[in-house]
Amino acid sequence: MNFELKSLSLVEAASEKCDALLVLVSDAYKPAKDGFSALVGRAIKDGDALTKAGKILALYMPVQSQATRVVIAGVGDGSAKQVRSGVTAALAGVKSDKLKKLVVAFASPAQEATVRAAVAAVADASYSFISTKSKPEPRTLHHVLLAASNAAELQTPFDRAVAVVAGVELAKEWANRPANHATPTLLAKAAEALVTKHSKISCEVLGPKEVAKLGMGAFMAVAQGSDEPLRFIVLKYNGAAKSVAPTVLVGKGITFDSGGISIKPAAEMDEMKFDMCGAASVLGVFRTLAELRPDINVVGLIPACENLLNGRAVKPGDVVTSMSGQTIEILNTDAEGRLVLCDALTYAERFKPHAVVDIATLTGACVVALGNVRSALFSPDAALAKALSAAGDAAQDLCWQMPLDEEYGEGLKTQFADVANVAGRAGGAVSAAKYLQRFTDKKVPWAHLDIAGTAWKSGAAKGATGRPVGLLVEYLLAQAAQAN
């Protein structure tokens, strides 16, 4: 899909020949004297169109416009959140296989955040997954023109928004794929495909022998129940001098999670193909970095495997040795994400990172706590937590900081190993984070994002959201800006 930004007044936008014109009208809109602006103003004055976010008025071939269809969409106070709501509602009314060119016009001057919100909303509303369909219905929308009277000052945030969309859609693609079309091997190939002549990205893929040599006993324990070989993916984006410490992103890559011996209920188990959304988000971030090429170094680590059950599968009560040397009693084989992540967190230490952020669909407890609005953020480092929260707010990819009190780790104690992989039900998202914290370098800022509630949607709208690509990109670009 091709996005374009043009400096156009509302009447100039209305003269663009297109299949649909979305007019975003805020509470502060004051109509100009031209015929089209007057039409919009009259519709609002008469109450046929409302500026309340999400309210729309659809018109067919009005004489004041070259568009086949015009939708006047309210965006309330004009904030990014309300612009996204207005665009989403408007596109729901014009979505069809005839929609090929779309113009989105800001009736009042746009801001950086609102331009980014509009781009994200159009991409999300028009997205279509087609990889495994015999008769695919691909996205028909090919050209999106954003029109704003002050477009000249918005080119940089616009370019960033388009690059983030590319990353989000790559994350969606791999998260939405069925497990037999997104094995650890195929996921590794997707990572290798990010390496191009001008991308500044390199990729190394480790197999079972290399992982065994590293002593990743926890990761290997999860993988041993599947016939699909594990893959440990190491992506590097080199945008700054080698002396600059990288930020390390660690994405949970369980390409299918049956729960192992502690098997999950059959209902909705198909959604466990989404258990690699953390890994997919890392791929998406690197896709965006390849477009924007910021002056920063980033490492992406993806421990990828299936959690299945066969005669070799790990059993409740088994004790394994992690790469850090700590022994782990596996009381619940369905708490496998933390097992693959802990070895990846130990591996991250070799990069002497500036910060480490892991991203995982880790706990159902997180969904109970926060639903699908905000991802859970855990970090003992106040500055890192603040930076990630601010990035989430700016990207409309929200998170919420959760506690990490030492008392939450008490339930992980066991008589048979250094640590158990689960505690009790109460505070399950926190005890999972406390488990991961044991495997981090205490001298390096670390954060854990539990995206179990935000990485995908269930029900009629089932599918990956691409979160938290936006949050992570925003954080990394802010770090790059601070360094320059």
Neighbouring residues of 267: CB distance < 8 A, sequence distance ≥ 6? none
DSSP string, 28-41: T----SSHHHHHHH
Reply yes or no on whether 338 is catalytic: yes
Residue in the block written with tokens 């094995």: 183
Write out the two tokens for 52: 């309340």
Reply yes or no on whether 98 is catalytic: no
Q: Where are the alpha helices (DSSP H) in 177-257?
A: 184-192, 208-214, 217-223
Neighbouring residues of 33: CB distance < 8 A, sequence distance ≥ 6? none
**Which of 105, 117, 85, 125 is closest to 29 using CA atoms?**
105
- Does residue 314 contact residue 333 with C-beta atoms inside 8 Å? yes
User: β-strand 18-25 against 101-106: which pairing, if any?
Assistant: parallel
Q: Each residue of 78-113: b (16+ CB within 10 Å) or e? A: bbbbbbbbbbbbbbeebeeeebebbbbbbbbebbbb
Report the alpha-carbon distance of residue 124 to residue 119 in Å, rounded. Answer: 9
- Residue type, position 72, single letter: I
Report the alpha-carbon distance of residue 416 to residue 421 in Å, rounded. Answer: 12
Between the CA of residue 441 and those of 176, 345, 379, 431, what are the distances in Å?
33, 8, 13, 18
Q: How far is CA 44 from the centre of its chain?
A: 37
Catalytic pick among 6, 189, 264, 457 = 264
Report the alpha-carbon distance of residue 445 to residue 353 in Å, rounded. Answer: 9
Q: For residue 191, how many other CB atoms are within 10 A of its CB?
A: 26
Catalytic pick among 338, 374, 434, 438 = 338
Q: Where are the alpha helices (DSSP H) in 132-258?
A: 155-176, 184-192, 208-214, 217-223
Report, as residue numbers or ranges, the catalytic residues: 264, 338
